[in-house]
Structure 1
Amino acid sequence: MLGFLWARQSGLDSPIRLTRAETTRRVLSLELNKDRDVESIHENGVNTLDIEHVEGRYMLSGGTDGVIVLYDLANFSKNLSYTCKSLCKVGKGHPDVHKFSVETVQWYPHDTGIFTSSSFDKTLKIWDTNSLRVAEVFHFDGTVYSHHMSPVATKHSLIAVGTKNPKVQLCDLKSGSCSHILQGHRGEVLAVCWSPRYDYILATASTDSKVKLWDVRKATGCLLTLDQHNGEKSKASSEAANTAHNGRVNGLCFTSDGLHLLTVGTDDRMRLWNSSSGENTLVNYGKELYSGSKDCKVLAWVPALREPVPDEDSEKPGSRAHLNPAFDDAWSSSDEDG
């Protein structure tokens, strides 16, 4: 780190390299928290988590058995080590419990008095947190894989919903009806996400290997279809041939500033896109990852340190052979000036 600081101070290196090195260091330093535990309530796997942004205190979890649990993350014990307790749950005996696996839970972005959940039982439910009762239910023809509310919208209250149907459905929280649909995908829509920068921009991912960006204000809707090859593989090909991954695209999210979009697919690839131009930035990621399983736990993993190569160069202090490979600057240089 001192080397990065010296290079930056002397003008030999770009300031962005220091930022990337520190970000990578922090990611690789993640480990299981030895002082905090979460009360075990789910009897089956945990599919989805969401922490509200108003206080950052309450967390929702949804399980494969249809159960939803609300946790309080605050520490009132005055002890260093503590367990986050559950406040309440929508369990099997609840009249409004989901019949099948809960795939997504989300707090209403501006008020913890409301949260939402969607399930394989083909429903999206709007909940009153205080009474723990359903205020509204949206029914769909196919399995619901994902839903999302805009974190910044003030002029609309649309919930984007991805289902087994290729059409993306937009449900209006105020009217209680589906306002309109977005057509363009040819497979099941597995993930949807609103931009945190523009309240009318939506990203969707599908089993057709495509990721699309939409402007929901426009009649045509689709702004562009992301192309992993940035048009270089076949300049003569139509947009219909553009794919974001070589397989199903089952996850996506915007960066906090909304300038980039991160996608993951069943091709074991994670890609970072310029959300304005749709360009694949060609960032090469390391192998840090999180895993969730039927044991009801979420674990963080990091690569093991690389064993030093027994040669003359590897014995020198500061040799790259002594470094974890994820510390190498594997970022694309395309945005060095950005």
Structure 2
Amino acid sequence: MLGLMAARQAGLDDPARLRRAERTRRVLSLELNKDRDVERIHGSGINTLDIEPVEGRYMLSGGSDGVIVLYDLENLSRKPSYTCKALFTVGRSHPDVHKFSVETVQWYPHDTGMFTSSSFDKTLKIWDTNTLQPADIFHFEGTVYSHRMSPVATKHCLIAGHRQEVLAVSWSPRHEYILATGSADGTVKLWDVRRASGCLSTLDQHNGEKSKASSEAANTAHNGRVNGLCYTNDGLHLLTIGTDERMRLWNSSTGENTLVNYGKVCNESRKGLKFAISCGCNPEFAFVPYGSTIAVYAVFTGELITMLRGHYSTVNCCVFQPHFQELYSGSKDCNILAWIPAPREPVPDDISEKSLPQQHLNPAYEDAWSSSDDEG
């Protein structure tokens, strides 16, 4: 790291390389922050979390009791130990509270003045953050398991939602009209919302080699319910999770299964599973609820890096804060936990870089990218 700083200072290296190396170090050192509490408001399990992308300061949570809470994550007290306070709550006494479990909350991607929520009460609500009143309510015939808004759309403000057996949905961060959905029938479909037919392709775990698969498994992404999916931040790959206890990485352009082996991924959820992918690291990491723990995987190699332990019950969701490489998780134990990078060990003034034990550095800290990669 000292070498990267010296090279950057001398103008000999790309500044992005130092940023990637430091972000990677911070993610690899994530630990439960015992000095930061998130105020406990929910009286039942927490199903969904979302941090607004504008400042990275405000977080929404939705619970099985229908309650929605907004938190301020900033340390206003400037003390080492502090509690992230709830700014407001859409509680059971609120006239527009969801009647049943809130499954998804999401900020409007470009402004903190609006957020959305969907629930098992078959509604999707558009909220005005300032007045805490719904600006619009959409009623559906079936259960809304998940919804998302595109993070990059400039020509539309569509909200993708599904009824009944579609458990997960995600917009491409690369193409504003492309959408991926995961269903209880084991399929993952890619859609172009501009097309009348809609569906572009159905992902096949066997990459077309049907002769090696049973007829039941052909043209499916998983041999169980697909209840979680998430694009990498560059939009080039799609990560999916199924109740067959498998996680798969797909090329989002070709639809090809990259065949990365993540091993057995515990997934007993009967509804949507909210997981997260890091941003700006090399390699990138996936944070996956795994029973009462959170499994951290290297996205492109499948290596299980570590298990984050701290919850007392099943973890339902996690969200990554890319500004400071922090992670927040929600569980059936009604708690939201904050995971932050461990502080860097100070280097004594009398020790030079050449005397440091370089052979003991984690290989994941090394950055093999060149400056040309950032230009492409």
* TM exceeding 0.5: yes
User: What residue in structure 1 maps to residue 221 of structure 2?
Assistant: 244
User: What residue in structure 1 maps to residue 286 of structure 2?
Assistant: none
Answer yes or no: is 1:124 the counterpart of 2:162.
no
Aligned pair partner of 2:192 in 215, 225, 231: 215
**How much has 1:298 moved relative to structure 2?**
4.7
User: What residue in structure 2 maps to residue 86 of structure 1?
Assistant: 86
Distance verdict in 2 for CA 1:152–1:138, change over 3 Å? same
The runs of at least 4 aligned residues of structure 1 exceeding 6 Å deviation read 19-25, 235-240
Answer yes or no: is 1:255 the counterpart of 2:236.
no
Q: Which whole-Å CA distance do the structure 1 matches of 2:55 and 2:25 have between them?
A: 28
**How much has 1:91 moved relative to structure 2?**
0.2
User: What residue in structure 2 maps to residue 48 of structure 1?
Assistant: 48
Distance verdict in 2 for CA 1:300–1:260, change over 3 Å? farther
CA contact (8 A) 2:217 2:223 kept: no
What is the root-mean-square deviation of aligned Cα atoms in Å? 3.3
Q: Which whole-Å CA distance do the structure 1 matches of 2:260 and 2:82 have between them?
A: 39
Q: Which whole-Å CA distance do the structure 2 matches of 1:63 and 1:111 have between them?
A: 23
Q: Which whole-Å CA distance do the structure 2 matches of 1:57 and 1:27 have between them?
A: 19
**How much has 1:29 moved relative to structure 2?**
2.8
**How much has 1:140 moved relative to structure 2?**
0.4
Write the letter of the residue equivalent to 1:68: I
User: What residue in structure 1 maps to residue 241 of structure 2?
Assistant: 264
**How much has 1:294 moved relative to structure 2?**
2.2
Q: Which whole-Å CA distance do the structure 1 matches of 2:97 and 2:242 have between them?
A: 31
Q: Which whole-Å CA distance do the structure 2 matches of 1:283 and 1:21 have between them?
A: 24
Q: Which whole-Å CA distance do the structure 2 matches of 1:63 and 1:141 have between them?
A: 22
- Structure with higher Rg: it is 1
Write the letter of the residue equivalent to 1:296: C
Map 1:312-327; keep pairs closer than 5 Å.
none
Answer yes or no: is 1:295 the counterpart of 2:295.
no
Write the letter of the residue equivalent to 1:270: M
CA contact (8 A) 1:289 1:300 kept: no
Q: Which whole-Å CA distance do the structure 2 matches of 1:240 and 1:270 have between them?
A: 16
Answer yes or no: is 1:230 the counterpart of 2:207.
yes
Greater RCO, 1 or 2 (C-alpha within 8 Å, sep 6+): 2
Answer yes or no: is 1:198 the counterpart of 2:165.
no
CA contact (8 A) 1:227 1:279 kept: yes
**How much has 1:21 moved relative to structure 2?**
10
Gaps of 5+ in 2: 2-18, 262-301, 309-314, 316-329, 340-361, 365-375
Distance verdict in 2 for CA 1:270–1:153, change over 3 Å? same
Q: 3-state SS of the aligned residue for 1:50?
A: strand
Q: 3-state SS of the aligned residue for 1:31?
A: strand
User: What residue in structure 2 maps to residue 330 of structure 1?
Assistant: none
**How much has 1:226 moved relative to structure 2?**
0.7
Q: Which whole-Å CA distance do the structure 2 matches of 1:44 and 1:271 have between them?
A: 31
Q: Which whole-Å CA distance do the structure 2 matches of 1:137 and 1:122 have between them?
A: 10
Map 1:1-338; keep pairs closer than 5 Å.
27-164=27-164, 188-234=165-211, 241-284=218-261, 285-287=302-304, 288=306, 291=315, 292-298=330-336
Distance verdict in 2 for CA 1:236–1:77, change over 3 Å? closer
Write the letter of the residue equivalent to 1:262: L
User: What residue in structure 1 maps to residue 322 of structure 2?
Assistant: none
Q: Which whole-Å CA distance do the structure 2 matches of 1:243 and 1:300 have between them?
A: 36
**How much has 1:223 moved relative to structure 2?**
1.0
Give CA deviations for 1:155-214 in whole Å, capped at 9, x if unaligned. 1110000220xxxxxxxxxxxxxxxxxxxxxxx100111001110000000001000001
Q: Which whole-Å CA distance do the structure 2 matches of 1:23 and 1:55 have between them?
A: 18
Q: 3-state SS of the aligned residue for 1:272?
A: strand
CA contact (8 A) 2:189 2:200 kept: yes
Give CA deviations for 1:207-233 in whole Å, capped at 9, x if unaligned. 010000011111121111111111124
CA contact (8 A) 1:225 1:239 kept: no
Q: Which whole-Å CA distance do the structure 2 matches of 1:58 and 1:21 have between them?
A: 26
The normalised TM-score by structure 1 is 0.73
Gaps of 5+ in 1: 2-18, 165-187, 302-323, 328-337
Q: Which whole-Å CA distance do the structure 1 matches of 2:149 and 2:108 have between them?
A: 7
After the TM superposition, which of the residue ranges 227-236 and 190-199 deviates more from structure 2? 227-236
CA contact (8 A) 1:30 1:300 kept: no
**How much has 1:293 moved relative to structure 2?**
3.0
Count the aligned residue pairs. 274
